[in-house]
Structures are given as structure tokens and as C-alpha cells.
A and B are shown apart, each in its own frame.
Chain A
Amino acid sequence: MKPTAPRRLAAPLLALLLGACGEGPFDIESGPFPRHLPEGMTVIPSPEDNPLTPEGIALGRWLFHSPRLSSNGQVSCATCHEPARAFADDAALTRRGVSGRPLARHAPALINLAWMDGLFWDGGAKNLESLSLAPLTHPDEMGNTQLPLMMARLEAQPEVVERFEATFGPGSLTLSNLLRSLAQFQRTLVSADSRYDQWRRGEPGAHLAPQEQRGLALVQRHCAPCHGTELFTDNAYHNNGLDPDEAFGEDEAESRGRGRVTQRPEDAGHYKTPTLRNVAVTAPYMHDGRFATLEEVLAHYRGGMVSSTTLDAAFLQDGQPPGLPLTPEDMADVLAFLQTLTDEQFLTEERLRAPQEP
């Protein structure tokens, strides 16, 4: 993670993006595509049968922000995934769904999803196309326990029909197209323009202070096995010592983490490593939002860990309780570095916000 890469201007990257999308030129300021990809990435991956198109992304953006998708017409995806918080929710266990009941897990930030194989804290959803069915149907999220009724409700709104037909052609208001356009928009939730990225790309005027650079080195040493790569996550599942074995539960218990999906005892208490990008604005933290601040998170890694049979080996220390060997100075440095991962552009970009209703 050293700034060795040559300066990269927007133009060649745009050319690559365009190549990947097979679309004509677009307006950089109002276009639907991100200006930068994380270092080393050349395209936004998408399935063969759902390539990114400006129209599909635009429809997905509208759907993502539209409360019409919920049974009571009041909850949109953005209700729990707020753009200004990198699409995370500020409640530990949100009550913002149609029922007002708290959810079982924290609503995470939605960042660089195009490079994620497994979605949800346990990776139960295999792709963005399939994932949306979960919030759409969950009685405590968007409440469409009967999808045919949701489709009938949408079909009865000429404006919705028009938007689909303008995108996918006549008769195209289908659940499949709805899922696909939502997925397209979410693949454009790319964050790669933080101060760290600008410094990494060697952009003029970009710099990291010495403390921030020390923090980066510490992250690379202690956190990178999991929060590594330019995505700041390995997108894999680990137990970082939050709970004892007894707390994991059995079968389909949410608390079983990855083990719920694989049904393997060795995966109990494992959760997907969240990205550290924008982490300064996505509090609270962990799968259940138990930590309100990054200081609490670092205190956990330093000395608050709980042992269990599935605890990751990275935290085992000879003759000492599990954790990471961080001094108070280290923690201050790490905290300083984490701030540099905040991507103001991503948090404020017009292309990701609710479109103006005509």
C-alpha cells in the first residue's frame, strides 16, 4: 500500500469504465459512474446477464430511494442506508422498517459491493440481484411478504411502469428487472476518492501526515490479514472475539454468524470483515452495532476480547489474553489513519442521492 503507482488522470479510467459498460460518452459531473476505482481495479464487475448501463443505474437509483417499494409506502432502501453515512444506519439495531420493530443486525455501510462475493454479515446472499428480495420481503424491513402484491401495487402506478419501459422496453416492469436495476445502482456505490486514495495516486497536493502514515503502517501490520487490500476487507469471515461460544446459538440463529449459512460448527461466530473505508462516519460498529465509537473498537482489539473455540488465530498472543498488541500511541495513530479513509465525494455525490422527482 505504498504510493508507487503513477499518477492516474480521470480520462484513462473513464475509458476503461466505458469499455466495461459498452456505453457511449457521458457527462462526468452528472453521469452515473464513479470517477475513480480503488487502485488496481480496472472495471466494475457485473454479471453477464446484468451489465451496467446508464439507464439501468438511473432506474436503480430511483428505486433505491423510492418508498413505493415498501408495503406502507414510507420506507426506502435509503431509509436504513443513508448516503451521508456511506449508506449505513446510525442505530445499532434499526427500527426504521415498516413494523417499527428492531432488526436482528446492524445495517452496514454499502461500499464497493461490486467486489463482494457474499453479502450480509454472514454472506448468505450470493449477489446483489438476489439480495434485494430480503429487505423487500422482510416483515420488519419493507414488509412485502407477498411479492405478487408488491408487483401489482407497482403496476398500478403509471409512473413506475413508464420508468421501467423507458429503461428496459415495453412490458418490462418485472421483478427480475427491478432486482437487476437495484443491483446495477449498488455496484456504482464505489468509494475510492478519500485523502488516502488521492495520496496513493500521487495527486498534486495530496499528503498524509506522519502520524497518519504511522497509522497506515500499523493497520498493514495488525489489521491487514482481514482489513487488507485496497478494499480494506478480505471479504472473508472471521471471529474477532466479540462473544463466547455459548452466545452463538444453533441452526438458523442470527447469532451463529457464518455458521448459519454453512452449518459448520467451525464457522460459528464468524462474520464478514467490514471495510475500513469511511469507517469514521459509519458508527455504530460490528454486526450488532455494539460499539458506538472507533475508540471502543480499538479498545476491544487491545484488551476487550472474549475467547471462544472459533476465535481467529491472528488474535492469539503467547501467555496473554487474546487481542492485538497496540500501545495507546498506536491506537491514536490508527485512529488518525482511519480518518483519512473518509471519502467526502462519496458521501455527498449527486449521482448517489435521491433523484429529483420530476
Chain B
Amino acid sequence: MSPQWGHGPGVAERPPRTGDKMPRGKTPQSARARASAKCRAMKMHTPASSFPAMGRMLALAMLTLLALPACGDDGATDEQLQTVENQRRQLEQQVGALETEVTQLKAQLAQQEQESNANQAQNQALSAQLADIAQQLTEARALLESQDWEGVYTQLTAARSELDALRAKLAATDGSLELNAAFVFGGTPLTLGQTYTTSGGASVSFSQVRYWLSNVTLLKQDGSTAALADSYHLMEVINAQSVEGTVDPVTLPANRRESVLARAVPAGAYAGIRFSIGVDPTYNDNLSRQSGELHILQNMTSVSWMWFTSYIFTKTHGTFQPAGGAQNTFTWDTGTNANYRTVEFAFDSAVTVNSQKRLTVNLRADVANLLTSLNPATTPTIGASQGAASTTLSDNFAGMFSVVSVENPDR
């Protein structure tokens, strides 16, 4: 049993038998004294625990109950009987507490099963184990009725240690990650068609912003990493638009996609996160390769780019009007391996990913940053061949993210 799962050893110690030797140099005086002496001894080698009180309480109850018949006293006093009764109730409560725990875990597993299809087999094994534990607790209740304290104790011990093993398994089981990158312009959420004022006093509005967020990777303290599988996500804020060049009108539905939900994130403690904007050369160089959402039919390739093997990494389209100048539209697309960008953020403190905890990383994607050192009035078009401008724009995409918060609550 490992202390790091946050559950005390509780009943895991074998109960003392009547013949057990007392710690050397101690003279037994009463069952209660013996119990508390043993309890202290136990506590000394008890690892730190988030429920030390519960563990000690249970041990105390057991010791008293078991010790009583061995004390040789003829008539137990009322006080003693009262103590026995109290402690029996405590044992019962203990069974109840474990039952509650089992119920909670069951609900959690059911939830998990709904969320991910990946670990079906694993989930089923865990559910079977939980059913076992529930059975042990049912037996413990029956034994409680028949006042078989030792029997109750054995059942509780087994149930407790199985629950701990199960929790250990859960803690080593893949978790999930929610990565949010909210489109904003400066301080406010980005709305398509709305006119914003740039720091230079110009007016700008956007008709679409799209980019590939790819290869999400969690970083460990020791420098090792956990790369998520099939991690290609098309982030976008687009209006319904009819697709150009078609005879029958085809419309792309309006969409706002700012969130990535990654399942099967390897359990572990992580110090930071890394992801890329664009598509890595392995996939970008061969358009017949598909992974995650990455697909040639995603409208992130362009007929006018087909002579050149690359996905379109980012699209930023809108209208721009310099202070006192004329309004013009701008169409900025980037692609090509040279414009693949990777960004990295360290968490303020390490986070834990496993099936028992949620990890949510909230970022802002500030579209205002895309205009840094670029003027849509003088550079209305960025495409495959505007080398310098697409380098700047790609840098601007990488620079538009900032961390708002990192949440890591229990499930």
C-alpha cells in the first residue's frame, strides 16, 4: 500500500491477538491502555495519511472489542459495555463508509466509460473488482449482525486493501485534458463582423479565423514528455459561408471551435504543456495521410495551393481601414513547413493527470496579436509566396496565446 493515494492504512494492520507480545518495557494495565499503546506503536509506523483519524479509530475499536474477552474480568462494567456498543457502531459506520466509497467509484467508472471508448476492457475489469468489494462489505454487514468481530475485521481489512489497490490503479489510469483557447480581440471575446480598433487607431473586422492546433504534448519535470495521439484540431470561428467555385450551392455551417478535449492522456505529474500551430512535416508533406481531424477535405487546403504540397496552417480573413484611409479586405493564409510553430507554457505548479482528476488549461488566443508588424492595408494578401509576411504572421500566431488559468480538481 502506498501512502501517495491519500488513503490511510486503516485496517490493513493485522489485529493483535490475545497472545501478542506487548512492546518491550511496557506493562499492560488494561485493555484500553494496551489498545492505546498498540495504537501509538501502529501510528508510529503509519505513513502520512489524509484520513489518519479514521484509521486510528477503527484500530482502536477493534483492539478494544478483541481485547475484552481476553481480560479475564468476570462482569464487564456498564461503562465497558457502553464502550463496546459505541465501538461496534463505529465498526458499522466503517462498513458504511466503505460502501459509500464503493458507490462513488462505481459512478465514476460509469462516467468514465461514457467519456472514453478507449479503455473499455480496463473499465470492465475495474467494475468487476468493485463488485467484489461490494460483496465483501455485504458479508461484513452479515457478520456484524452475528457479532463475529474478527470476521467483520477480516472482511474490512480485505475490502480496504482492495479499494486502495483499485484507487492506485485508477490513479495510474489515463486521464483527460481540456485545452481551451478562447478567441479574443484585446480584452473581449472575438465576434465576427464586429469592428475593433487597433493600437494604431485603424479599424479591423474579421470574417474568419482558422488554424490547426496540433501535437499537444504534456511536459514532465524531468524533461520527458507525453505526446497525445492523433492530435490535430481545427480551431476556428467562421460564419456560414457558401463554398466558392461550386455549381450547386454548398454551405459551410457557422462554427466556433475553441476547445480541444483530449482523452487517454497518460497518467502522471506534469509541469507544462506544448502544442503547435500548423501541421508537422510528416503529415504536411503527404496529403494522403490522415490523423485526428486532419483531412484534405477540411477546406484547409486550397486549389490555388495544390501545386505546392502543404496544408493551409492558418486563415485570417477580414476587412481593414487605416485611420483616415480607405477600407480594404485582406486574405491571409499561411502554410509550408517553414511556418510550423511550436509554443510551450510552464504551469505555475505541477498538475496531476489521471482518471481521478480533471485538467483544464485555459488560454486566450488574442487575434489582435496577428496584426503585430503587419499592415493589412499594405499587405492585403498573404499566401504561399509572401515569404517574409507569412513568417511574421506565423510568429504572430505563436505569440497570440497566453495562459489564463490551469484547473486541476478532483473528479
Interface of A with B (CB < 8 Å)? 47, 49-50, 120, 122, 124-127, 129-131, 133-134, 137-139, 145-149, 151, 175-176, 179-180, 183, 251-252, 260-261, 263
Contact = CB atoms under 8 A, between A and B. Distances in A.
A145 B384 CA distance: 18
20 contacts: A47-B286, A120-B307, A124-B309, A126-B286, A126-B309, A127-B286, A129-B287, A133-B296, A137-B303, A138-B306, A139-B245, A146-B245, A146-B250, A147-B296, A149-B246, A176-B288, A179-B287, A180-B288, A260-B385, A263-B387
A177 to B, nearest CB: 8
Given A47-B286, A251-B386, A137 B306 contact: yes
Contacts of A183: 288
Given A179-B288, A252-B384, A133 B297 contact: no
Interface string B367-392: 00000000000000001111100000
A125 B309 contact: yes
Given A125-B309, A130-B309, A147-B297, A263 B287 contact: no
Contact of A145 (B245, B248, B296, B386): B245
Nearest to B307: A124
Given A127-B285, A131-B309, 13 more contacts: A49-B289, A120-B307, A124-B309, A127-B309, A129-B287, A130-B309, A139-B303, A145-B246, A147-B297, A148-B250, A176-B289, A252-B383, A261-B308
Interface residues of B, number: 25
Given A145-B246, A263-B385, A263-B387, A129 B306 contact: no
A179 B301 CA distance: 15
A145 B245 CA distance: 6
B290 interface: yes
Contacts of B386: 251
Task: Please give me the 9 A-B residue pairs with the lowest Cβ-Cβ distance, nearest first.
Answer: A145-B245, A129-B288, A251-B385, A134-B306, A126-B309, A179-B288, A252-B385, A130-B287, A130-B309
A134 B307 contact: yes
B286 A130 contact: yes
Contacts of A147: 296-297
Interface string B211-245: 00000000000000000000000000000000111
A176 B291 CA distance: 11
A252 B387 CA distance: 11
Interface of chain B, main secondary structure? loop
Given A124-B307, A126-B309, A130-B286, A148 B297 contact: yes
A48 to B, nearest CB: 11
A17 to B, nearest CB: 23
A180 B289 CA distance: 10
Nearest to A176: B288
Interface of B: 243-246, 248, 250, 285-290, 296-297, 301, 303, 306-309, 383-387
A126 B310 CA distance: 9
A173 B297 CA distance: 14
Contacts of A134: 306-307
A133 B308 contact: no
Contacts of B387: 263
Contacts of A129: 286-288
Nearest to A119: B309
A133 to B, nearest CB: 5
A145 B303 contact: yes
A240 to B, nearest CB: 21
Contacts of B306: 133-134, 137-138
Given A134-B307, A147-B297, A263-B387, A50 B288 contact: yes
Contacts of A175: 288, 296-297
A149 B246 CA distance: 9
A249 to B, nearest CB: 11
Contact of A124 (B244, B248, B308): B308
A47 B301 CA distance: 22
Given A133-B306, A176-B288, A149 B296 contact: no
Among A138, A176, A183, chain B packs the most CB atoms within 10 A around the CB of A176
B288 A151 contact: no
Contacts of A49: 289
B288 A130 contact: yes
A186 B365 CA distance: 44
A176 B286 CA distance: 10
A269 to B, nearest CB: 16
A251 B244 CA distance: 24
Given A49-B289, A124-B307, A124-B309, A151 B246 contact: no
Contacts of A125: 307-309
Contacts of B309: 124-127, 130-131
Contacts of B243: 146
A183 B288 CA distance: 10
B2 to A, nearest CB: 42
Contacts of B248: 149
A133 B288 CA distance: 10
Contacts of A126: 285-286, 309
A181 to B, nearest CB: 10
Nearest to B390: A263
B208 to A, nearest CB: 18
B290 A133 contact: no
Nearest to A122: B307
Contacts of B290: 176
A52 B248 CA distance: 38
A146 B296 CA distance: 11
A124 B308 CA distance: 4
Contacts of A47: 286
A120 B307 CA distance: 8
A124 B289 CA distance: 18
B385 A130 contact: no
A201 B301 CA distance: 46
Nearest to A121: B307
Nearest to A134: B306
B44 to A, nearest CB: 60
Contacts of B301: 133
